[in-house]
Amino acid sequence: MSAVVVAVSAKRSHGPDKKNQLFIRLIAGQGAEGDAHCGEKVKHRSRARFNPGLPNLRQVHLMHQELHDELNGKGFSIAPGYMGENVTTRGVDLLGLPRGARIRLGPEALIEVTGLRNPCIQLERLQEGLMQACLEDRDGVLVRKAGVMCVVLAGGEVRAGDAIVVELPPEPHEPLKPV
């Protein structure tokens, strides 16, 4: 199966449940135009309160449709954008990517993976048990399954159906940590 963009989503205000769009425009060094997390400096509310001058390592949030399928199979009702992602993907092992992996979305946009999204209480407010369902204990190692965060290297429009190409950084690869 080839890797593809399933949906794109954005929301001007903070919080999950981003609305699907025909396209989103990624802006280099900023994020998704019109999204609450767009900007050069940190936009995540708790981090911004702590230090608003930090660089924004969470400009674009990607989540894999395979997680939606898994959660729907467990009785949740999940659709693209619902858990706050800007880009829903299919056919990419997002959680297996190393830090610094580059992802080309469509013909123009290029983003770089900075780390994992840490599932938060906002997911629990959507549906009871959802936050815990996005965490898994694998032999004593906590696996965060709620997607990856990225920065925008080259802007462009991204839409459902766009091809996804992953470029790995030189080895040794650094595993992803929450950002």
User: Hey, what are 162's tokens?
Assistant: 């766009």
Domains and CATH numbers, the chain: 4-167 (2.40.33.20)
Give me the amino acid identity at 97: L
Per-residue pLDDT in tens (0 to 9) along the chain, 179 residues: 699 999 999 999 998 899 999 999 999 999 999 999 999 999 987 777 888 889 999 999 999 999 999 999 999 999 999 999 999 999 999 999 999 999 999 999 999 999 999 998 899 999 999 999 999 999 999 999 999 999 999 999 999 999 999 999 999 999 999 99
**HEC states along 54-119?**
CECCCCEEEEEHHHHHHHHHCCCCCCCCCCCCCEEEECCCHHHCCCCCEEEECCCEEEEEEEECCC
How far lies 73's CA from each of 45, 70, 133, 171, 174, in Å?
32, 5, 11, 36, 32
